[in-house]
Structure 1
Amino acid sequence: MSSPEEPQTPPQENARARSRKTLVINIFRWILIALVIAATVWQLVVNWDQVTRTVTAMQPLRVLVAFVAVLAGLWTSTLSWMVLVDELGVPIGARRGGEVFLVGALGKYLPGSIWAYVLQIELGHRSGLARARVFTASVFNLAVILVAALLAASLSVPILVADNPELSWLPWLYVVLPFALVALHPKILTAITNFGFRILRRPLPDHPIRLRTVAKSLGFALLTYIFYGVQLWMLADTWQGLTLSPLLLCIGTMALAMVVGLVAFLLPSGIGAREFIIVTALAPVVGVGAATAYAAVSRLMFILGDMVAAGTSALVAAWARRKLGAYHGDPGLGP
């Protein structure tokens, strides 16, 4: 005796369910973006009074060069992420990829840095990238920026420990460096990628992850910390006449500050933790008051830089969609 057939859901109901799901996702996405923008503006407000006096006393040319260095660092950090995204499928291009990374990165201003990754995944999906691809590239990029930060921070750790015995714990951060380097081996990255894509039922990339891609991503990440160090150097090195030693200290300090800010993931963009490292590094040279002001100015520049970079990338991406059409690198994506 045959069993009764399972009742089938009418196509109209399936379509309505998909439509409701899409609406919920879109509402959530825009609410999240609105919260991110509000949090970013709030950071500007709370820092404004503290930094205005210091900014007016600085040389305008140095302030301008420092801000350009921030923008350059944001762009190289985008390229560090994007070469990994492109390695996992059809390249999306800098004009579209920049929007995904830079607009999504504004999520770091919400408590819990996970929001940056959530936004990047959703913006990538809207742009035609599989969520699995964006997530995988972001995880790999996290390992890349950690290795790059530890390598760059080695320029300042000995100085910081010598000047501040309470920071004698800093060298222990390098316990993770060998593990992070091993995790960046192309065979390990390829195995992780294939496993994750199979679990998520996504087509596997048509080639293994290549060493040159990892090296390129790491190179862009190192350039990012160099640019960030130049930013702090331009602000704070008014007593040395732009000599090399303070530059190396500033590069290492900014790299270390970014690592500490990354660890303090519950704080919006690592606020407080990052400034602590900068003040600690600069206080023996310029005094606590000036070091605190420079840290605040640096934070303000990063907030402005994030907003300018995100806005510019969104406009460029909109232009690319009109001129080049939609991206179809990852077929079979649902809403």
Structure 2
Amino acid sequence: MKVQDDLATTDDTAAEVAAPSSRKATIIAWAKRLLVLLVLAAATYQVVDQWNAVSKTLLSLSWQSIVLSMLAVYAGVWLGPVVWKVVLSDLGAPVRVSEASKFYLVGQLGKYVPGAVWAVLLSMELAKEAGVSRARSFTAGLIATGLGVVASMITGLLALPIILDGDHPELLWLFALLVVGLVFLHPVPLTWLVSTVLKLLRKAPLPHRLNGFAIFKGVVLAVAIYVMFGVHLWLLATSVGAPGLNTLILCAGAMGVSMTAGLMAFFLPSGLGAREAVIVAALATVMPAPQALALAVVSRLVFTIADLSSAGIAAGFVWLQGKRGVAPTAPVVD
């Protein structure tokens, strides 16, 4: 009886400990949902409040500009898997571009779910099917994201004069990421950082130092991604009469800063609201605010279509390869 009483007491204690933890998790989950709803409500209010001007802008957009703008987004989106291929090859996990496209593009759909982990977990599981270990795919994701942040801030320097002269000095802290990122672009500190992450995962450290040229190539490709995203926004802006070259420079910088701002707002689905705030603030310097808001809405829609369709195309292509008997990349041994 005493043993049973002790077991019952232990169970009761465990339940008491688990209950507050469970309540805390529930509160956090509902807080995130409430935050998303508030952001959606605020965005909806802005659109409805300025609907007359917004609707005029939407109707004035030519279909040619929308199509070309979408093609520019596709070009940027499909450069993403190439960055992953470069990083994975340097980590000793060579994959085909088609395989990298599947686990990167399909995995990226996880960003539409609030939280920082879903895109990472989904990419890791899909990469496993291509023979890439979870540790390597996680590390590749970490490096690729870091290179992307540095590249976005390099591109964002184009919009720095607008940020300095505007009403959004809070965005300046993002450029601190550039200072830190530039240091870790050197192979020695980056190799140390990656090996430290692998040790935390209880995996063997990298057997060799990361290649400087591979890092450079990854950054250049990532910069090209943000430039294409800038071209996308510029095509929309010129369609409503914004001036030429200066607007292109502004749009490239704005997209760089906005994508990083969206990444930092990981608790929101795909950085919803944070990205649009930067775009509107930048475009409002060359056009009325309602027009800028309308273009931010169109930009969000274009990106969503591009993300969903690209994921479907990538998954379909890999499925066809499997049907044709194309074997996946050989498993990586950690």
TM-score by length of 1: 0.78
2:144 aligned to which of 141, 145, 150:
141
Contact 1:92 1:329 in 2 (8 A): no
Shift of 1:55: 4.5
Q: How far is the alpha carbon of 1:175 from its aligned partner? A: 2.4
Q: Give the whole-Å Cα distance in 2 for the aligned partners of 1:176 and 1:200.
A: 25
The C-alpha deviation readout for 1:157-190, integer Å capped at 9, x for no partner, is 212331x2x3123333322322211122212222
Could you tell me which amino acid in structure 2 is paired with residue 127 of structure 1? A
Contact 2:230–2:252, Cα closer than 8 Å, also in 1: yes
CA–CA distance in 1 between the matches of 2:116 and 2:239?
34
1:96 paired residue number: 99
- Normalising by structure 2, we get a TM-score of 0.79
Q: How far apart in 1 are the matches of 2:240 and 2:305?
A: 26
CA separation of 1:177/1:63 partners in 2, compared to 1, >3 Å: closer, same or farther?
Answer: same
Q: 2:127 aligns with which of 124, 128, 141?
A: 124
Q: CA deviation at 1:52?
A: 7.9
The question of whether the paired residues in 2 share the 8 Å contact of 1:161 and 1:170 is answered with: no
Q: Distance in 1 between matches of 2:213 and 2:104?
A: 22
Distance 1:327 1:80 in 2: 17
Identity of counterpart residues, as a percentage? 34
Q: What's the counterpart of residue 178 of structure 2?
A: 177
**Which secondary structure does the structure 1 equivalent of 2:286 belong to?**
helix
* Partner Cα separation in structure 1 for residue 218 and residue 279 of structure 2: 26
Which amino acid in the other structure matches residue 328 of structure 1?
Answer: A
Letter in 2 for 1:282: L
More displaced 10-residue stretch of structure 1: 62-71 or 75-84: 75-84
Using the TM superposition, give the Cα deviation of residue 54 of structure 1 relative to its aligned residue in structure 2, in angstroms: 4.7
**Alignment match, 1:273:** 274
1:60 paired with 2:63, answer yes
Distance 1:158 1:94 in 2: 38
Unaligned runs of 5+ residues in structure 1 are 1-38
Structure 1 partner of 2:216: 215
Amino acid of the residue matched to residue 75 of structure 2? A
In 2, the alpha carbon distance for the partners of 1:151 and 1:67 equals 23
Question: Larger deviation: 143-152 or 218-227?
Answer: 143-152
Once the two structures are TM-superposed, the CA of residue 206 in structure 1 deviates from its matched residue by 5.2
Where does residue 85 of structure 2 map in the other structure?
A: 82
Three-state SS of the structure 1 residue aligned to 2:155 is: helix
Mapped to 1, the partners of 2:88 and 2:328 lie a distance apart of 17
Q: Which residue of the partner structure matches residue 237 of structure 1?
A: 238
User: One-letter code of the match for 2:261?
Assistant: V
Please say if residues 55 and 294 of structure 2, whose CA atoms lie closer than 8 Å, have aligned partners that are also in contact: no
Q: Which whole-Å CA distance do the structure 1 matches of 2:299 and 2:107 have between them?
A: 21
SS at match of 1:265: coil
Select the residue among 163, 176, 196 that pairs with 1:160.
163
Q: CA deviation at 1:94?
A: 0.3
Alignment of 1:1-335 (within 5 A): 54-162=57-165, 164=166, 166-198=167-199, 200=201, 202=203, 207-238=208-239, 243-322=244-323, 323-331=325-333
Q: Name the amino acid aligned to 1:150.
A: M
Greater shift after overlay, 81-90 or 94-103? 81-90
Over 3 Å counting, the alpha-carbon distance change for 1:199 and 1:151 in structure 2 is closer
Distance 1:330 1:252, change over 3 A: same
**Displacement, 1:194?**
3.5
In 1, the alpha carbon distance for the partners of 2:130 and 2:269 equals 26
8 Å Cα contact 2:263-2:271 kept in structure 1: yes
1:25 match: none
Contact kept in structure 1, 2:93 and 2:136, CA below 8 Å = no
Cα distance change on mapping 1:177 and 1:69 into 2, 3 Å: same
CA distance in 2, matches of 1:200, 1:273: 32
SS of the equivalent of 2:158 reads coil
Partners of 2:186 and 2:163 in 1: CA distance = 31
Contact 1:95 1:320 in 2 (8 A): no
- Whole-angstrom CA distance in 2 between matches of 1:128 and 1:97: 11
Q: Counterpart amino acid of 1:115?
A: W
Offset at 1:300?
0.1
Q: Distance between the aligned counterparts of 1:113 and 1:72, measured in 2?
A: 25
Segment of structure 1 superposing worse, 92-101 or 51-60: 51-60
Deviation at 1:204, TM superposition (A): 5.6
Assess, with a 3 A threshold, how the Cα gap between structure 1 residues 141 and 90 changes in structure 2: closer, same or farther. closer
CA RMSD after TM alignment: 2.6
TM-superposed CA distance for 1:325, in Å, is: 1.3
Q: Could you report, residue by residue, the CA deviation over 1:105-131 in whole angstroms, capped at 9, with x for unpaired residues? A: 000000113211111111111221100
Query: CA separation in 2, counterparts of 1:138 and 1:277?
Result: 25
Q: Using a 3 Å threshold, how does the CA distance of structure 1 residues 94 and 194 change in structure 2: closer, same or farther?
A: same
